[in-house]
A and B are shown apart, each in its own frame.
Chain A
Amino acid sequence: MAIDKDTARRVAHLARIEVAEADLGPLAEQLSAILGFMEQLREVDVEGVEPMTSVTPMRLPWREDVVADGGIPDKVLLNAPDARVGFFAVPKVVE
């Protein structure tokens, strides 16, 4: 399946990565080459095969539903590019 410029634009937006219009063509070519490589998977007979969902056959453990960590807002905000009065600051989202 070859990826065209429109598909590249759509995927870039889904991935939330800004791509200049002039770069969409080369990007589409690169993505198409990688997808072309994956086409080999179509040769494999996967009829009746379960998809792998767990690398090692183990049950994910459960724990008590209790607060195990927290109370460290200063540490949580320590690396924020813009933190104000105990919150992460972002551009206006709702008009």
Chain B
Amino acid sequence: MTDLAGLTIAAARDGLRSGALGAVELTEASLAAAGDAGALNAFSALTPDRARYQASLAAARLRAGDAPDLCGIPLGIKDLFAVEDAPTQAASRILEGFRPPYESTVTARLWEAGAVCVGKLNMDEFAMGSSTETSAYGPAVSPWRRTGDPAPLTPGGSSGGSAAAVAARLVLGATGTDTGGSIRQPAAFTGIVGVKPTYGRCSRWGIVAFASSLDQAGPMAATVRDAAIMLTAMSGHDPRDSTSAPRAVPDFEASLVGDLRGRRIGIPTEYRVDGMPPEIEALWHRGAEWLRDAGAEIVDIALPHTRYALPAYYVIAPAEASSNLARYDGVRYGHRAKIGANEGITALYERTRAEGFGPEVKRRIMIGTYVLSAGYYDAYYLRAQKVRTLIRRDFERAFAAGVDAILTPATPSAAFPIGAMAGADPVQMYLNDVFTVTVNLAGLPGVSVPAALDADGLPLGLQVIGRPWEEAGMLDVAYALEKAAGFSAKPEKWW
């Protein structure tokens, strides 16, 4: 039987085209691996009938010689994406039983490209969280463990199911979404590659909205090349998303050369945060050396408003969420509370939302409601939007001074045990996003690349931030990092 371990999308593509691999066999292998990995809780639903049907179509296209890059490639889809007639509930009780009668644009593009849907992937409820612990399905578990310690670790979040499924090779790639770091942090925690594209590169149509000015879909895969192949298929203008950009999509895979001569890489001094583990600081230095060895010029840059990014984000994202999540009212879809004979529509709304939303989602809706309420709008929301302008301006100045891309750590720590943050202040969990959230506020592309193992044997990632619309150049820098790091560690199978 076909084994997905060690297989990349690029290698599977070549094997499928040459006939060395069969599309049906590859999908069966993925379904078997996914079915056998219940302990990871990576999937919220498997879609075997759809997978087998799509695999048979892919096999026919491959026989006919009409096979795009993703033809026959088994993928997992984050539960935030509407997949027609498949359970889609954003890991929330409030969307219990919801089966969309439509397909998200990004997934429609993937199916057109011949990809196979193995199932829906676990995530934090409404993508609010950094550990998949807010999920109504229970937490996803990382395939990684600390050396000699069986304690279950988080795969990160919110795209934690996607990260666990790819890292454990249950699928060859997965979709994620990233509002403050939800693709890049879980990718870093699980030793895989995660790309958050420029805002507007991928259509948001059919993706459950969290914070509309920050949300972007992106690929999660084993290698930079695999992520580039997926990104090419996922990207492109969509008239149904008015913020989707009418721009041509380059062949991102073709941009992977790894020769950085003439490229200038910025190192932002403000990312040296208090309490940063020495291992992460050392890895960051090593990353800069690797890029220098690949021909790049390394320069220090200033992004002076960095420390205000998280507080600005935690005003703006909840504000947008409180508005977006107003639609869950128990009338049109999902959960509906039972009310007494003497109660009215307000009780229906309030109880439905109390029963349907988890504690973190409720907190964020209420924070958002507060910062948008009369008397506080200027002090919080308007001020945060001004700070957001300053954060974007920091990046614009760096790019105008000739910097092509920026290198930072991906996360302030390696993966932590499930439950470790349970007693902590919610703000402690928010600090996970400290290196990633600036990218969302400024609308830039960012990629997390696995770069080393820490002393406990857990993956650590580096982040490359690109200029707007220059994912190609950014991915080339990531490719150079990947080649130099030579990261080949895999989690030992215990599930």
Contacts and interface: CB of A to CB of B under 8 A. Distances in A.
Interface in B323-367: 326, 329-336, 339, 343-351, 353-354, 357, 362-363, 365-367
Contact of B345 (A3, A46, A90): A90
Contact of A88 (B332, B384, B390, B442): B332
Best-buried of B102, B326, B389 by chain A (most CB within 10 Å): B389
A31 B332 contact: no
Contacts of A88: 331-332
* Contact-size category for B: 35 or more
A78 interface: yes
Given A40-B308, A75-B102, A79-B100, 8 more contacts: A14-B373, A16-B346, A17-B350, A18-B351, A58-B200, A58-B243, A91-B343, A92-B344
A84 interface: no
Nearest to A3: B370
A52 B388 contact: yes
B308 A41 contact: yes
B314 A17 contact: no
Contact of B390 (A8, A27, A37, A49): A49
A80 B99 CA distance: 11
Interface string A62-95: 0100000000100100111110000010111100
A85 to B, nearest CB: 16
Best-buried of A37, A42, A55, A90 by chain B (most CB within 10 Å): A55
Interface string A46-58: 1001111101101
For the residues of A in contact with B, the DSSP-based class is: loop
Nearest to A72: B101
Interface residues of A, number: 51
B443 A91 contact: no
The 10 A-B pairs at the shortest CB distance, nearest first, are namely A51-B385, A81-B336, A79-B333, A55-B443, A18-B354, A18-B350, A46-B386, A75-B101, A15-B369, A52-B388
A18 B353 contact: yes
A80 B101 CA distance: 12
B389 A35 contact: no
Best-buried of B245, B308, B343, B368 by chain A (most CB within 10 Å): B308
B330 A17 contact: no
Nearest to A50: B389
A81 B198 CA distance: 38
Given A38-B311, A79-B97, A92-B344, A52 B389 contact: yes
A78 B101 contact: yes
A33 B382 CA distance: 20
A55 B395 CA distance: 13
Interface string B86-122: 0000000000011111100000000000000000000
A34 interface: yes
B385 A40 contact: no
B370 A35 contact: yes
A34 B426 contact: yes
B387 interface: yes
Nearest to A92: B344
B373 A11 contact: yes
Interface string B367-378: 111110100100
A17 B352 CA distance: 8
B396 to A, nearest CB: 10
B380 interface: yes
A56 B468 contact: yes
B149 interface: no
A40 B369 contact: no
B101 A33 contact: no
A91 B339 contact: yes
A34 B98 CA distance: 32
B312 to A, nearest CB: 6
Given A41-B311, A41-B383, A41-B384, A31 B331 contact: no
Given A34-B427, A40-B307, A91 B345 contact: yes
A60 interface: yes
Contacts of A92: 344
B315 interface: yes
B427 A17 contact: no
B490 interface: no
Nearest to A60: B242
B305 interface: yes
